[in-house]
Structures are given as structure tokens and as C-alpha cells.
Amino acid sequence: MIVRPMEPADIPVVVDWMLATPLWQRYRLTGAATRAGFERALAGGDLLLVADLDEPAGRACGLAWCLRQGMFGRSAYLRILGVRGEFAGRGLGAVLLDRAEASLDEATDALFLLVSDFNADARRFYERQGYVRVGALPAYVLPDVTELLYWKRLGGSHHTEGGEASGDIR
Ligand SMILES: CC(C)(COP(=O)(O)OP(=O)(O)OC[C@H]1O[C@@H](n2cnc3c(N)ncnc32)[C@H](O)[C@@H]1OP(=O)(O)O)[C@@H](O)C(=O)NCCC(=O)NCCS
């Protein structure tokens, strides 16, 4: 498996499998809005990593998208972590999350994310990756779903005096 920065040519590939994923169907994801979101994210310098597998349909078959200061103007926010359905459960998600954390590590103090209350598999996955549940947002996105807020401290700037987010800490 190779993990690499997302490129514009990956966008239609990723959007294609995301639209086929039951989770995002429930959130009524649309192709046009999702493509536009990725284009803005690439242009704006968000952290976007994709995973390639050397097998059919393996190109850009996993994605991690992080907003570098998406939480409280200070910490990173994992906007999307996903793996193409047929490749789930083979370790791609864990590798992508590890690589995203490593890329963010020096620049931020923590990574936050939201998980749907019904997504027991993903909750177990994130808990195993060291994420701790710190909150719940009832009906935040969908009226019948509670979004669970998780976070994990990273090694970056929480050691600095004053807590100002900064990359030059040592
Ligand atoms: C959640 C997800 C990113 C994990 O990546 P992955 O490569 O499948 O996971 P790994 O192989 O590294 O780890 C395996 C764990 O992932 C979780 N998992 C496996 N298949 C999954 C699936 N279809 N949906 C959700 N989680 C799954 C389970 O917790 C599994 O652990 P288990 O063996 O105890 O059941 C991926 O399965 C996925 O994209 N799922 C659908 C979309 C989603 O739920 N994204 C997270 C939204 S916050």
C-alpha cells in the first residue's frame, strides 16, 4: 500500500466510492458538492491523503481529509476518513489515520472527529486508535442521529507556554 497526497485526478475516483458507501448515502452526499469540496480543500492546503493498492480498483481507495486548524482555530479536525467498501477491514484506515496524525503532529496539539452514534464499527476503530469520546451533539447533522465527538492529543504545541498553536516548539 502507498499513502500519498491527493491530486486533482483522484477526486472523481474518491467521490465515486464515497457515493456508494451506505454511511454517506445516509448523509445524502451529492457528487457535485463533494467534488467541489475536495477542489476547495486542495486549493486551500488542507491535509488530504489517499491510499493506493496495487490491485483492480485500488487507486485512491482510501482517503483521510484533515482541516489543520478546524477545531477552535487551534486543533485539527478529521473531516473524512474512508475506505472503499470492498477494501474495508484490511488496515487501510489505520494506516491513513496514523499517517495523517504524523503529518499534523508538529503543527497541532490534537485531532478531533465526529462519529455517528449508529456507526459502532467506526467507534470501535477510533477507540482502538486511541481516540476518547468527549461529547455528543444530538441532531447536529441529521435529525435522528447523535454525532459523537472524539479527540486524541498529538505531540505538538500543547507543551508551549500560553497554548498558542505553533509549529516551532522545540
Ligand atoms: C471506518 C473505516 C475508515 C476503517 O478503515 P478500515 O481500513 O476498514 O479499518 P482497519 O482495517 O484499519 O481496522 C478494522 C476496523 O475498522 C472497522 N471497520 C471494518 N469494516 C468497517 C466498515 N465497513 N465500516 C466501518 N468500520 C469498519 C472495525 O472497527 C474494524 O475492527 P474489527 O475488526 O474489530 O471489526 C472504514 O471501514 C470505512 O471507511 N468505513 C465506512 C465509512 C466510515 O464509517 N467512516 C468513518 C466515518 S467517521
Residue 124 in contact with ligand 1 by CB distance below 6 A: yes
Atom of ligand 1 nearest to the CA of 114: 48
Three-state DSSP class for residue 131: coil
Dist CA 100 CA 46 (whole Å): 11
pLDDT in tens, 13-59: 999 999 999 999 999 999 999 999 999 999 999 999 999 999 999 99
Q: Is the pLDDT of residue 161 over 60?
A: no
**125 Cα–ligand 1 center, Å:** 6
Residue 90 in contact with ligand 1 by CB distance below 6 A: yes
Domains by residue range for the chain, with CATH: 2-163 (3.40.630.30)
Task: Quote the pTM value.
Answer: 0.92
Q: At what angle do helices 31-44 and 11-19 cross, to 10 degrees?
A: 140
Report the pLDDT value the prediction gives residue 166, as an integer from 0 to 100. Answer: 40
Cβ-Cβ contacts under 8 Å for 100 (sequence gap 6 or more): 47, 49, 64, 66, 78, 81, 111
Bridge-based pairing state of the strands 75-83 and 110-116: parallel
pLDDT in tens, 46-103: 999 999 999 999 999 999 999 999 999 999 999 999 999 999 999 999 999 999 999 9
Among the ranges given (8-22, 27-41, 130-144, 150-164), the one the predictor scored with the smallest mean pLDDT: 150-164
The CA-CA-CA angle for residues 140, 144, 150, to 5°, reads 45
Report the pLDDT value the prediction gives residue 155, as an integer from 0 to 100. Answer: 84
C-alpha distances in angstroms, 28 versus 32, 49, 59, 78, 142?
Answer: 12, 23, 24, 19, 10
Average pLDDT over residues 143-147: 98
**166 Cα–ligand 1 center, Å:** 32
